[in-house]
Amino acid sequence: MISIIVSTYKPENFNTFSQNIEQTIGVEYEIIAIDNHRTMSLCEAYNKGIALAKYSYLCFSHDDIKINTYGWGNIIINQFEKNKGAGIIGVAGEGYKPWVPTGWFFSFISQSRRINITQSSPKTGKFNKVYSNPLKKELDNVIVIDGCWFCTTKEVTNKFCFDTDTFKGYHCYDIDFSLQVSREYEILISYNIDIDHYSYGNYSKEWIRETFKFHNKWEKVLPLSFKPITKHEIAENEFNAFCYILDETCKNNTHTWNVLKILNSVKLLQLTGVRKWLTLYWYTCSAILSNLFR
């Protein structure tokens, strides 16, 4: 009853992944493995998987995860059936998507982050439980999800697809798909599914490039929140988001001009207020000068 779509090119990862699915899912399923050693974007791979899927529930997953919840297939199906407005159910996401270019994540101190993942370091092998569920719910709302693992339905993918025209790599497919779906459906985080993830996000030059593409596509719509929030909360979120993207562009020594355009925009000034904007201006000048002379 669930079609699992995975983009993969490492046989050892896929074998471990498929064995884990067989042992834990608890319902009829198929795995659609798209062989993809950088031969296509993740958007293209996932759209190919959708076209091949025969079941009404779809699960998109990285091949370096382990699901620890037995019978998770029934859990997901029941959650969709009980929440008819749900379009996506994942395990990590954000309730606020800033106007400033970011991924799904933009701040460790965000009050609207929702997550239930055990993260493993590829270098040390140590596990770190990352959990945020302030309202103590089994399901909670977000506006965008992290693409390491999420589920949707054929009803949703009949209306929305992954944007192959804009995103040519392995980034932003998840937040772009989330925002598309959020226009008609709820985006939810499930705390009943326990997942180990064996890699961290790669905030590379490619990620930065795709993130600015995402910004260009959605800037007239953003910021978005799944619930009303105060001007102070918006200002804090946009401030933290700008600091995050500035740090990443400086680390990768790329897209400095794009960051300066964001900084000098009227929109950022409106969202953060004069005091925070001046702080960002000073911080940006210091960061760019330090980067130039390091």
pLDDT tens-digit series, residues 73-104: 999 999 999 999 999 999 999 999 999 999 99
pLDDT in tens, 201-227: 678 899 999 999 999 999 999 999 999
| Residues listed for the chain | 294
pLDDT in tens, 239-265: 999 999 999 999 998 999 999 999 999
User: Cα(233)–Cα(235) distance, rounded to whole angstroms?
Assistant: 5
CA-based R_g, the chain, Å:
19
Confidence at residue 209, expressed as pLDDT on a 0 to 100 scale: 96
Q: Which amino acid is at 70?
A: Y
CA 116 → CA 61, 92, 262, distances in Å? 15, 6, 32
Those residues whose C-beta lies under 8 Å from the C-beta of residue 237, and which sit 6 or more positions away, are 96, 98, 106, 107, 110, 112, 223
Peptide bond into 11 cis (omega under 30): no
pLDDT in tens, 267-294: 999 999 999 999 999 999 998 877 766 6
Q: Which amino acid is at 292?
A: L
User: Cα(199)–Cα(197) distance, rounded to whole angstroms?
Assistant: 6
Contact between residue 125 and residue 70 where contact means Cβ atoms under 8 Å apart: no
Confidence at residue 38, expressed as pLDDT on a 0 to 100 scale: 82
Q: Indicate if the pLDDT at residue 24 is higher than 80.
A: yes
**CATH code that applies to domain 2-227:** 3.90.550.10
Contact between residue 20 and residue 64 where contact means Cβ atoms under 8 Å apart: no
Token pair belonging to 50: 């959708």
User: Cα(207)–Cα(22) distance, rounded to whole angstroms?
Assistant: 33
User: Cα(133)–Cα(100) distance, rounded to whole angstroms?
Assistant: 25
Domains of the chain by residue range: 2-227, 229-294
Token pair belonging to 43: 């958007």
Sign of CA dihedral 83, 197, 201, 158: negative
Contact between residue 115 and residue 93 where contact means Cβ atoms under 8 Å apart: yes
Confidence at residue 30, expressed as pLDDT on a 0 to 100 scale: 98
Confidence at residue 203, expressed as pLDDT on a 0 to 100 scale: 81
What pTM was computed for the model? 0.94
User: Cα(293)–Cα(218) distance, rounded to whole angstroms?
Assistant: 34
Confidence at residue 122, expressed as pLDDT on a 0 to 100 scale: 64
Contact between residue 213 and residue 163 where contact means Cβ atoms under 8 Å apart: no
User: Cα(247)–Cα(249) distance, rounded to whole angstroms?
Assistant: 6
Phi-psi region of 268 (alpha: psi -120 to 50; beta: other; left: phi over 0): alpha
Q: Indicate if the pLDDT at residue 8 is higher than 90.
A: yes
Q: At what angle do helices 42-52 and 173-182 cross, to 10 degrees?
A: 60
pLDDT in tens, 31-68: 999 998 888 999 999 999 999 999 999 999 999 999 99
Q: Other CB atoms closer than 10 Å to residue 39's CB: what's the count?
A: 10
